[in-house]
Structure 1
Amino acid sequence: MAETDQERTEEPTAKRLSDARAKGQIARSKELATALVLIGSAVALMLVGKQLGMAIATIMKNAFSLQREQVFDPHLMFHSIGSMLVVLVKPMAWLMVIIVVAGVLGNTLLGGIAFSWEAAAPKWSRMSPLAGMKRMFGIQALVELVKGIAKVTVIGLVVWWLFSWKFDEMLSLSMQTLPQAIASALSMLQWLFLLMTLSLLLIAAIDVPFQRWNHTKQLKMTKQEVKDEHKNSEGNPEIKSRIRRLQMEMTNRRMMADVPQADVVITNPTHYSVALKYDTDKSGAPIVLAKGVDEIAFKIREIAQYYDIPVLESPAVTRSLYHTTKIGQQIPDGLFIAVAQILAYVFQLEQFRKGRARRPHQPNNIDVPDELKY
């Protein structure tokens, strides 16, 4: 049993995952990030490649057509260089924005965004040669080696297929005029680069599930760790049980202290007891002072007998009051008539004891609405 408790067989709890995230331990896929950055670069070149090429051509043209005064005057030279570089700003800005967006997506699609100073802090364990050797010959290093071989293989096959597919078209470039050949070659290279980078998604599709599985595996917990975490977050079950027991005892003592103030105690006759008080000055309806089953019910009846409080048997009304009310709460509207019959009997009984009226008949078979029957 002790060995089982030490095995990491339990899935990480929400707290475990939250703590790991705070430390910067989240699932990341380098392959997904690399693939999206390269694909973003390919898409960016296709979108702004023409403008970028035209800007470079303009710079080259202006650089080879400088006047003699511009060459020998430093101020004119820097002004000319600045004016030439301005044309590069817009296409380069779009190129960088697309690549940065692709890089951010690649690094946050798996695991989301997480900032952790703890992860950025230097750790001496990372600088240990022994720890470095373990990382070099560990399972993770083996996985990275397999991924590297897979990437080289996949990209090599894709490149071979692309060149086989476009080989005749490449040869035909020599038959075209110079400007047209350059434009066709650049267009072909853009599409070849995009298709080649798309092949990396195959590696990423395998790496992403593996990184998720590996992240969960590293955070798995032993049964004892789950128990300890539950105790720390929820409290010791034994202590909580004792606190609840003490609270219940205190509630029962306060409840029993209120029983002598009751006008009547109605019973089941043995399992349930409910003590009621009707004070017209404080409330418009009778209030439940105490209620209980079995031992508590017996104690309520015992206190009622000691203080000479009328005890009336009415099983249906007692069960209904017990299940539909709380201590200190008024009785439900649906039980007004039933309780009124009981209180009328109690008040008539009090008048009889004082010699002011005849002995009343105890009400029997008091009706309770069907929706309040238990």
Structure 2
Amino acid sequence: MKQRIDLQFFAQEKTEKATPKKRQDTRKKGQVPKSTDVNTALILLAVFLFLFLYGKVLGNHLFSTMEHVYKEYILQDVTEHAIPAMFKELTMESVLVMLPILLIALIVGMGASMLQVGFMFTPEAIKFKLEKINPLKGLKRIFSLRALVEFLKSMLKITLVGLLASSIIWFSLDSLMLLSLKSVQDGFFEVARLTGIIGALTACLLLFLSIPDYIYQKYDHEKQIRMSKQDVKDEQKKMEGDPQIKSKRKQKQMDMAMQRMMQEVPEADVVITNPTHFAIALRYDEENMDAPVITAKGADFIAYRIKTAAKQNEVVLVENKPLARALYYQTDIGDKVPEELFKATAEVLAYVYRLKNKLV
């Protein structure tokens, strides 16, 4: 009894790698190895590189917008028609500034996801499921090993990013102390430059840290989708069909084939026998056939059924052991008689025709 329980336990243990079907099913559910750190790092890097290249253009646009606000709007009367017009104009100016940044983030984010998992459309992943709001499962996720790893990873990132930003500010402290002596525009560009350096280096640091994170996510995903030996067997049964059902289906097909074959026996010209082990039914139409055709064949019990059907339908039975054995092993149902057996078969058919002529 104990040995049986141990065998059942080992059969349920997740020791096998996921099969291609299991991988495909989990992918359809949106369960793929993916690191959000890769997306975050690439988006940050792309955005800050864009700001390095076009930040001056965007800054000038912002300054011209602010200048327009303080020169034009301050002189306008505050009315119910003026306020919507001001709001609309400021909204359009804000869109012109933010839209390129948002587009860069969107494109790079999609590219980073496709780089990790390829193109994937999984509507099943966004379906509402009650188990997703189960508080017990939520607590289990919060206090799981995975949550602990994520917490430690976040603390490591915060610490390293904080050290990096503090170091850059420390080394740039002299230029920051002189900001009060600069114009607003120069001060803005100095702060923007420093922010860009911090952002770009932080993105590079996060990208470096995302490599082990992606490796861990892949390892964890493989661990999550492992299968037990029983799971593999069940999947194979499901794909190939239950052995009992498959056996019954095969038996039914054989029965139907046997029924069709037995229907051909009454149309045969002769049945060549062994006499007990083999029986081969031949039909020959001189006008439409080049050679006699095997319409039925069988051994032992099937041979007995062929001979019984032949007797019931007055089909001639001819005993010829070598020919019966050769036809059984060298041909299939529907085949023509092989050329090397033409002579022996012709002699049998000639005998049958003579016998029929005598009866007539």
Shift of the 189–68 alpha-carbon distance from structure 1 to 2, 3 Å rule, reads closer
Task: Give how far 1:238 is off.
Answer: 1.9
Shift of the 255–122 alpha-carbon distance from structure 1 to 2, 3 Å rule, reads closer
Q: Structure 2 matches for 1:96-245, cutoff 5 A?
A: 96-107=102-113, 109-111=115-117, 112-116=119-123, 119-121=126-128, 123=130, 126-128=133-135, 130-156=136-162, 158-159=164-165, 167=172, 183=189, 186-187=192-193, 189-245=195-251
C-alpha distance in 2, partners of 1:7/1:143?
24
**Paired residue for 1:7, among 9, 13, 21?**
13
Q: What letter is aligned with 1:309?
A: L
Aligned residue number for residue 327 of structure 2: 318
Structure 1 length normalisation: TM-score? 0.72
**Paired residue for 1:57, among 43, 50, 63?**
63
C-alpha distance in 2, partners of 1:173/1:339?
110
Shift of the 117–6 alpha-carbon distance from structure 1 to 2, 3 Å rule, reads closer
Shift of the 257–124 alpha-carbon distance from structure 1 to 2, 3 Å rule, reads closer
Shift of the 194–50 alpha-carbon distance from structure 1 to 2, 3 Å rule, reads same
Deviation string, structure 1 residues 86-142 (Cα, Å, up to 9, x no partner): 4443342211111122333444544453444664526366352x5444333220111
Task: Give how far 1:348 is off.
Answer: 2.7
Instruction: Tell me, yes or no, if the aligned pair for 2:283 and 2:293 is still in contact at 8 Å.
Output: yes
Structure 2 length normalisation: TM-score? 0.75
Instruction: Tell me, yes or no, if the aligned pair for 2:278 and 2:325 is still in contact at 8 Å.
Output: no
For structure 2, the residue ranges without an aligned partner over 5 or more in a row are 1-6
Shift of the 23–301 alpha-carbon distance from structure 1 to 2, 3 Å rule, reads closer
Q: What letter is aligned with 1:61?
A: E
C-alpha distance in 2, partners of 1:68/1:153?
46
2:347 is the alignment partner of 1:345: yes
Shift of the 186–317 alpha-carbon distance from structure 1 to 2, 3 Å rule, reads same
Task: Give how far 1:51 is off.
Answer: 2.5
Shift of the 192–271 alpha-carbon distance from structure 1 to 2, 3 Å rule, reads farther
- Between the two proteins, what is the percent identity of the paired residues? 29
Secondary structure of 1:4's counterpart equals helix
Secondary structure of 2:316's counterpart equals coil
Instruction: Tell me, yes or no, if the aligned pair for 1:272 and 1:318 is still in contact at 8 Å.
Output: no
Instruction: Tell me, yes or no, if the aligned pair for 1:38 and 1:197 is still in contact at 8 Å.
Output: yes
C-alpha distance in 2, partners of 1:81/1:37?
30
Deviation string, structure 1 residues 4-48 (Cα, Å, up to 9, x no partner): 122122333455445444544444422223223322322332343
| Alignment length (residue pairs) | 346
